[in-house]
Amino acid sequence: MALNLEWEFRYGGKPIVPIRLTCWQTGKHLDTEAMLDTGADKTFVDSAIAPALGIDLRSCAQLAVVGLSGPAKPIPAMELDVLVLHGTDDPAVTLQVGFVDNLAMTVGNLVGCDFFASFDLGLSHSVRTAYIGRAR
């Protein structure tokens, strides 16, 4: 089966795309950027984003995350709509997004494989271009 790669994005050093996060519980949204990360199981954003979305991280569910640093660590998580911004047919999906302290100071926000369960992804890193489309 062929991939559906409708949207094309140019990027600099890393495959970073514009996204919109929407919290339907608060009715707020925020436009930011995130790196397409096929090595991340989940989507993660910096916890500093939570107040702009009207989210109190102390009241969020906890998501157990295992990373390079070893054992599972609980982090706050909330169901959000994640929208890759491009044109009028923007791809969106509702995901359990984890909030990580100081993520912006390290790798930055990450769109993980949970997003790619609903979307096809192609990367041509030699020309710094990403291609995304709804999975068929």
DSSP labels for 60-116? SEEEEE--TTSS-EEEEEEEEEEEE--SSS--EEEEEEEEETTGGGTT--EE-HHHH
Neighbours of 38 (CB within 10 A): 12
Q: Is 128 left (phi over 0), alpha (psi -120 to 50) or beta?
A: left
Give the pLDDT of the chain (136 residues) as one tens digit per residue: 677 888 888 999 999 989 999 999 999 999 999 999 999 999 999 999 999 999 999 999 999 988 777 788 899 999 999 998 875 566 679 999 999 999 999 999 999 999 999 888 999 999 999 998 888 7
- In this prediction, residue 2 carries a pLDDT of 75
- In this prediction, residue 6 carries a pLDDT of 84
Q: Are 125 and 16 in contact (CB under 8 A)?
A: no
- In this prediction, residue 88 carries a pLDDT of 53
Taking the C-alpha atoms of residue 1 and residue 77, their distance in angstroms, rounded to an integer, is 34
